[in-house]
Amino acid sequence: MNTRTKTATLIASAAAAVALLAGCANDGTGPEHTTEHRAAGTSTSMSATTPADAASAHNAADMMWVQMMIPHHQQAVEMAEMVSDHSTNPELVALASRIEAAQGPEIAQMTGWLEDWNAPATDATMDHSMPGTDASMPGMDHGGMMTAEQMTQLDESTGAAFDQAWLEMMIEHHVGAVDSSEEILASGQSAQVKELAQSIIDGQQAEIDQMKAMLGR
Domain boundary assignment for the chain: 3-39, 51-216
pLDDT tens string 82-131: 999 999 999 999 999 999 999 999 999 999 999 999 999 875 444 443 33
Amino acid letter, 198: Q
Rounded CA-CA distance 146/7 in Å is 93
Number of residues that make up the chain? 217
CB 114 within 8 A of CB 152: no
Buried b (16+ CB within 10 A) or exposed e, 68-106: bbbbbbbbbbebbebbeebbebeebeebbeebbebbeeb
Residue 69 phi, psi (nearest 5): -70, -30
Amino acid letter, 145: M
CATH superfamily, with its number, for domain 51-216: Ferritin, core subunit, four-helix bundle (1.20.1260.10)
Task: Pick out the chain residues at pLDDT < 50.
Answer: 2-49, 124-141
Distance of CA 54 to the CA centre of its chain: 12
pTM attached to this predicted model: 0.69
